[in-house]
A and B are shown apart, each in its own frame.
Chain A
């Protein structure tokens, strides 16, 4: 699509350069640390599964025991490799043994721990590669997909009921199925185990639930003549573990924002920024498309005022994602249609924002979120807002369209709510198919002026963040009017300084990072 807004290339370049400064500062601070969740992810990638008699995952128990034995700063891989070299048959058994504090304390570094661990690292990498190839093969086997991809949510709390709803949505035309997580899960410091049938406002993300839904969607592929993408939420205290599970079970999209957990869940900033890096490394290797969460700035404050913060965050998320090895086609930057529908020319502002994001990030698959804040219970008005949202989405070439529900804010979607939404979005996508190619904007008109104003605002915010550094900016409350000091927040106790000879074999492969704390 040709640029239509005449945005200042200098401004965009300057925003990218400021975002790079910010990201460099983040890397300098975070690469000195690891977290319990990052270490648990290493175990999960190596195939450690299951829970003990108290339903606590083996990965948690082993990491806790190694931490208590003052050994975790070297990285869990060193000890797992040593246990294997000393005779344990596989990572599962080695991890199981390490859950015992005496065993964890007694274990000594084995000189050949790397060799012993290497086949298991290789087999994890191979499984991730194979999943990625399989996705590519499956997608290539069908006609090109219609864009924007229609993204539907299921949220029954019961994975088996979710499958019924997901099948119905996919048959109706949904191309991405997201299983919303149980509301409390982002704050759990472990990943629940097995198939689950009871959740609150959603369904627990577990490896078995991933597997069940993946199998159900794959089973539809032949009937529908297309591949149905599976989405989950790689955020919260277990961000990288969910990424690991997703990579092993071939999830296609992952919500994976660098700052969301800090701002909206009060998770410790250091913990989140260490974890986002490793989770994105995993997603990068798995060929997953991440979705960032800028829509949240708009739902919690005024959407017109917060527009520059959205763009600033998109620049930061882009840079942090690139630094974690993701390619631009994998970086689904978020934004939302949340301006008060009563505002004069509000739709013009929405068009400006959506078109601006498209032009500034031409190679990123933009993830466009529906109206939620101004949905009132008047379902007819809600359906109208969703229609304007769908039209804006098509008119500005958005890539992933999260379907708006006419009953938003009333209840979790009924089967018919979802169908109505898919039907609406498909009709508008077809009815306005080439609208984006036909539209130009009046030079110095309202839409162009608005886009320029937002870009200038974003540049000012980025200047402020770059001056302070991201951690200080978070403490100062630059984002979402919320102050998040570096050492406060949930999960802070799970952050630990890496030893000089720390090792994470997956990071070493994906980041080409040598062992040790800092460069």
Chain B
């Protein structure tokens, strides 16, 4: 018996042997529990490309709703060799290294403002990045010697933020965006870009978005310099700010020559 090797260009999920395509999923159908509803759930899984769907739970979770857990074998394959969306540059530097580099390259503290915009009242992610305690053992931005990091909290209006950024000569703005209903976070994120541009501040400021459902591609599309998803450590953000601001200084020095 020989070990088979996965073919990344024709990949399937792995359950307990290569290529079996086993997936687990759960969903609710808005119908009372009945044999017809269970059959519909099975057919629905089949339509998703799942062979031999095994309905392991069909629970009436409300009079008109049935909750399903389904296991099955996906018939789909995926090419895992395709190029991936760009991610924000990831430099592994410690806080001490970043502080030392800021001192060496800038000879001053970098001003970093952070907040959640307008109706967004969620601060868990923002606090994890800013509070000295940080996240998973990685100190927050407020602990950096080289950063003048100001956590403005939640529900900050775009107008107020832009005014503060101008008054404080901010080097960077970090916006924490939590997805709520109706894609409202997208509107607030773009409002900020528009207003910074209108005030001719956009080029002077590194603009970063973060949040549970934010990624680099989305942030770039909205006109931000970078986007960071869940689990991002403060040092990763700080390293990005360092590199991006250094790059800009180098670029403007080239222009000046």
Contacts and interface: CB of A to CB of B under 8 A. Distances in A.
A301 B133 CA distance: 7
Given A168-B61, A377-B230, A416-B28, A200 B124 contact: no
A452 B81 CA distance: 58
Nearest to A419: B61
Contact of A184 (B127, B155, B230): B155
Nearest to A266: B153
A302 B121 CA distance: 19
A365 to B, nearest CB: 26
A488 to B, nearest CB: 14
Q: Does more than half of chain A's interface fall in helix, strand or loop, or is it mixed?
A: loop
Nearest to B116: A183
A513 interface: no
A412 B180 CA distance: 8
A409 B212 contact: yes
Nearest to B178: A201
B180 A419 contact: no
Interface stretch (B62-70, B196-204, B232-240): B62-70
B221 to A, nearest CB: 21
A171 B32 CA distance: 14
A376 B121 contact: no
Given A265-B155, A416-B67, A301 B61 contact: no
Interface string B114-130: 00001111111001000
A167 interface: yes
Nearest to A414: B28
B19 to A, nearest CB: 25
A376 B27 CA distance: 21
Contact of A187 (B27, B122, B155): B155
A395 to B, nearest CB: 27
Contact of B120 (A156, A183, A377, A416): A183
B67 A200 contact: no
B209 to A, nearest CB: 17
Contacts of B122: 183
Contact of A300 (B65, B123, B184): B123
A182 interface: yes
A43 B28 CA distance: 46
A519 interface: no
Contacts of A172: 61-62
Interface in B7-32: 26-28
Interface in B32-65: 59, 61-63, 65
Nearest to B68: A416
A199 interface: yes
A216 B121 CA distance: 29
Interface string B176-207: 00111110100000000000000000000000
A410 B118 contact: no
Nearest to B230: A377
5 contacts: A167-B62, A299-B124, A412-B180, A415-B62, A416-B28
Closest 6 pairs (CB-CB, A-B)? A168-B62, A419-B61, A201-B180, A184-B119, A183-B121, A200-B119
Interface of B: 26-28, 59, 61-63, 65, 67, 118-124, 127, 131, 133, 153, 155, 178-182, 184, 212, 230-231
Interface of A: 156-157, 167-168, 171-172, 182-184, 186-187, 198-201, 264-266, 299-302, 372-373, 376-377, 409-412, 414-416, 419, 481
Given A300-B131, A416-B61, 13 more contacts: A168-B61, A172-B62, A182-B119, A184-B121, A201-B178, A201-B180, A266-B153, A302-B133, A412-B180, A415-B28, A416-B27, A419-B59, A419-B62
